[in-house]
Structure 1
């Protein structure tokens, strides 16, 4: 009997063996001894299978990292790092498929549609940990900008994903380094900086513009 997992595994095996997706759902279903009806019970297209595979890796990653005893003690930055490291560690197990999937759906702009569900999961996860960071004071609550932090985290994720696809280093050590540097730089931008102090000082002076006049300066 067909299941989501069995269809995913059969699809991965097919595309990696043949180097291309099946010509039709009928051909794929017949090869795997299922009916088209069984296939469509779970997926509406081959693209939907790929979307689900990518999303499942992210869901599994989040489930695993949240079971860590130290999770509740992590800062927002540490939670982001934990997600990135764990996601790409899991992705190693399906690297051949990941490379095939992304290279087949390469786009000049934005991200391929097969990553739509993954993007939603990453952004929702990012939004949750960023809210924690804002509430704790770890991150700067900048008007208009704070709500875009999750977009910055997704951009960093996309950069690392592309880097990993092209990483030929042993054990993908360079990707680990890219994660460390990239996530830390991203969160450095999210945190309070001297520029924030300067902006607040400017606002203060603007509100108290007649201070020098009152002092007779």
Structure 2
């Protein structure tokens, strides 16, 4: 006797992802998608308002899986902010690599790059909250308004850095995406050197790496 399938958010995400990978396109509409699954259309709307919101949730799932894996490490809680962020990056991109075909489709399917970026809007909110939770130290500046501006913008700068890394990973053709690992490490060192106002060696090193790879910061 076959076990009864559990109809929930993860079920629809998995089935939609499989459809994308097998067909190379999204289903024509929600009705057809649910009919093929032998599920009432209304069940889909219990979790998502459209395929677009489902696609946003795919990236949220990658994010949540990353955070869950990190939380299982007894050492993670004692890491400093920089090490926590590095751990996040390496774990997150390992998960993305495991789902590379799906991620590439979702982020390149639409010729309008802004439409592709919309799929990351919910990820952006969650990632910025994650960054805020790291309590990254910023330089103390006498002027309160300038200091406040720095505090408010740190998560936005971190988000732009994640986008830049994502673009690099998409275009990376190196074995095991080893250049992406280098990119992550160098960019992280450079970013924290800027925050700490420490010597500029890592910043120059990262700049030379970017120049060599001719990175374009827009996805």
Q: Give yes or no for TM over 0.5.
A: yes
Q: Which protein is bigger by CA-based radius of gyration?
A: 1
Say whether the 8 Å CA contact 1:14–1:21 is kept in structure 2: yes
State the TM-score, normalized to the length of structure 2. Answer: 0.80
Q: Residue deviations 1:92-141, cap 9 Å, x none?
A: 22111000000024655697111011111111111111x2x32xxxx423
2:129 alignment counterpart? 124
| Shift of residue 168, structure 1, vs aligned partner | 1.5
CA distance 1:92–1:108, change in 2 (3 Å): closer
Task: Output aligned runs, 1:1-217, within 5 Å.
Answer: 1-105=6-110, 107-108=112-113, 112-129=117-134, 131=135, 133-134=136-137, 139-142=138-141, 143=147, 144-193=149-198
1:204 alignment counterpart? none
2:208 alignment counterpart? none
Q: Residue deviations 1:142-172, cap 9 Å, x none?
A: 4122321111111110011111111111111
State the TM-score, normalized to the length of structure 1. Answer: 0.81
2:205 alignment counterpart? none
> 1:57 and 1:31 mapped to 2: Cα distance?
26
| Shift of residue 66, structure 1, vs aligned partner | 2.4
CA distance 1:84–1:122, change in 2 (3 Å): same
Structure 2 residues not aligned, in runs of 5+: 1-5, 142-146, 200-219
1:209 alignment counterpart? none
Aligned residues: 189
Q: CA RMSD in A?
A: 2.0
Structure 1 residues not aligned, in runs of 5+: 195-217
Q: More displaced, 1-10 or 116-125?
A: 1-10
3-state SS of 1:23 partner? coil
